[in-house]
Amino acid sequence: VRAIVVDEFGYRWFGLRTGIVQFDGAWAIDYDYEVSNACITSVALGASRVYFGSRAHGLLWFDYGANLPPLMPQTPAGPDTGSTDAAMEFWTVTSDPEGGSVSYQFDWDDGSDSPWGPATQSHTYASLGTYRIIVRAKDSSGKMSAYSEGHTVRVATGNRPPQSPTTPRGPESALVQESVEFSTSSYDPDGDEIEFLFDWGDGNQSDWGQPVQTWVYEKVGTFSVRAKARDDKGRESQWSFPASITIERPNSPPSRPQQPSGPSSGLVNTTYTFTTSATDPDGDQVLFLFDWGDGSDSGWGPPSASHAYKRTGAFDICALAKDVHDAQSNWSKYHTIEITGTPKPIIELGSVRETYYFGDTIKLYGTLINDLDEMTVDVYIAFLLPGSDTLLYYPNFGADPFPIRMTLAAHSEFGPYCFLQFPIASQIPRGSYYVYGALVEPGTQFEFVSEIDVLKFEYAGERQDS
């Protein structure tokens, strides 16, 4: 029987003479080797494998039939230099004396080991420095080889991350289901290409992509939007400062107003009040507008409004509501009012000039503003004395009313013009004169219907010639 001895480096040694002896109750191999001082680790005896247990002069003690560990792996191969945060790949190879499967563990010399795995593995160094990489092997029964010789790698400069992006720019508020757009920017100190990721603050994030991206919020609330940059080597920046956006529900218009309530009949030139109501689903304040059916409306205001009709006929009144966001309802149902009676003629007064002097001729005109057939009326004109409540009457600024009788014919929308002119033949107080006017049927007591400030002119006394 011939014995083969395998040392720790995987070399096999054949003895010059061998023999199997029994020594102190155990089997042993008597040997004499050319390199008798080699560090013997295992012995092969025929087709069977044995494990070296201890060493004595001239003898190898063994347990017959034991498993042998894998041979020591080759020195790891791979790059000699690298950079931080960039993965480097290393590989090795060995075999198992029994021909079984082998796994490997690399010692990266930075305080960490690889998991047991294939013969090719990668590692990323976080710090600059010089590292000596070694590897060992393990068979399926857990027997491990000795560590290999070391491979030295120098980690120099590393890839730097992009700058933290700017605070995202976008709207401060938006509606649910409304698309919003945010943008940011950054730069990479190594000049690498960068891409961006947005955290929308509602539990969702964008894909890595462009510095301008859009999002649609599904619920109301206030959300913080952040951004992060990543270079083409996978190095990521810190998060940006957040931007805030408030998401509100879409505004809904008020309900259709109730049919206006009010009188169903009335007289011309008589004021009547009408009322409606509506609600807003968002709780917003509601304003109302009444269409009086005569070509005029109330303007936006409270749910009650008043109106006086200037002509006879049937008029359909309806109301419209809007909220503070100008969202308008549908028109209400019509409320019809029948206007009867003979209207009083109403005239609006005007002055040809704004300032008159002593001796000038005052020229006034009046515009009939309500519908009348041809009729004869008395015109009364009065002037409010400056600084008092005394009225002076046309034409001589006297204390007694003086009617001017004229015939008015059918007219257009704006009515015909009635011109009155008279000289200022006596001294009157200087100042601002407010003009009142009335048209009445002959023999009917009159009252002035023009409001103060409707017409005003200045009397400046004698003209100062230059």
Range of the domain at 194: 173-248
Q: Is residue 369 part of a domain?
A: yes
Question: What does the DSSP 8-state code read for residue 428?
Answer: -
Residues 332 and 276 in one domain: yes
Are 119 and 215 contained in the same domain?
no
Query: How far apart, in Å, are the Cα atoms of 444 and each of 146, 224, 342, 348, 377?
Result: 132, 77, 13, 20, 10
pLDDT surpassing 50 at residue 223: yes
* Secondary structure (3-state) at 276: coil
Does a structural domain hold residue 74? Answer: no
Q: Which two tokens stand for residue 332?
A: 């209400």
Domain annotation covers residue 253: no
Does 134 share its domain with 208? Answer: no
The reply to whether 333 and 357 lie within a common domain is no
Q: Taking 70 as the threshold, does the pLDDT of residue 10 lie above it?
A: no
Separation between Cα atoms, residue 250 and residue 245, nearest integer Å: 15
User: What is the model's pLDDT at position 456?
Assistant: 75
Whether 219 contacts 202, CB under 8 Å? yes
In the 8-state DSSP scheme, what is residue 73?
P
Cα–Cα distance between 139 and 69 in angstroms, integer? 7
Q: Does some domain include residue 46?
A: yes
Asked whether the CA dihedral 271, 277, 280, 285 is positive or negative, the reply is positive
384 and 282 in a common domain: no
Do 354 and 454 lie in one domain? The reply is yes
Instruction: Answer yes or no: do 234 and 193 share one domain.
Output: yes
Residues 33 and 57 occupy one common structural domain:
yes
The strand pairing partners of 383, in sequence order, are: 392, 435
The identity of residue 259, as a single letter, is Q
Phi, psi (5° rounding) for residue 303? -75, 0
My answer on whether 353 and 311 are in the same domain is: no
User: Can you tell me whether residue 447 is helix, strand or coil?
Assistant: coil
**Domain final residue pick, 97, 120, 155:** 155
For residue 330, being part of any structural domain is answered with yes
Same domain, 138 and 236: no
For the stretch 376-392, pLDDT in tens is 667 777 788 777 778 88
> Is the domain of 38 the same as that of 90?
no
Burial label for 44, CB within 10 Å (0-12, 13-18, 19+), is: middle
Domain boundary pick from 290, 316, 340 = 340
What is the mean predicted confidence (pLDDT) over 236-250?
Answer: 95
Query: Residue 320 sits in a domain of what CATH number?
Result: 2.60.40.10
Tell me the per-residue pLDDT of 181-213, one tens digit each, with 9 for 90 and over.
Answer: 999 999 999 889 999 999 999 999 999 999 999
pLDDT band at 374 (very low <50, low <70, confident <90, very high): low
State pTM to two decimals.
Answer: 0.37
Instruction: Please name the residues in contact with 38: beta carbons below 8 A apart, sequence gap of 6 or more.
Output: 5, 7, 11, 13
pLDDT(233) > 60:
yes
Q: Is residue 76 part of a domain?
A: no
One domain, residues 333 and 390: no
d(CA 15, CA 1): 11
Quick: pLDDT tens for 412-445. 444 455 566 777 777 778 888 777 766 666 666 6
Query: Count of domains in the chain?
Result: 5
The per-residue pLDDT for range 141-186, each reduced to its tens digit, is: 999 999 999 999 999 877 788 999 999 999 999 999 999 999 999 9
Domain boundary among 248, 281, 312: 248
pLDDT band at residue 60 using 50, 70 and 90 as cut-offs: very low
Look at residue 377 and tell me if it is in a domain.
yes
Q: Give the pLDDT band (50/70/90) at residue 247.
A: very high
In a domain? residue 72:
no
Phi, psi of 59, deg, nearest 5:
-135, 145
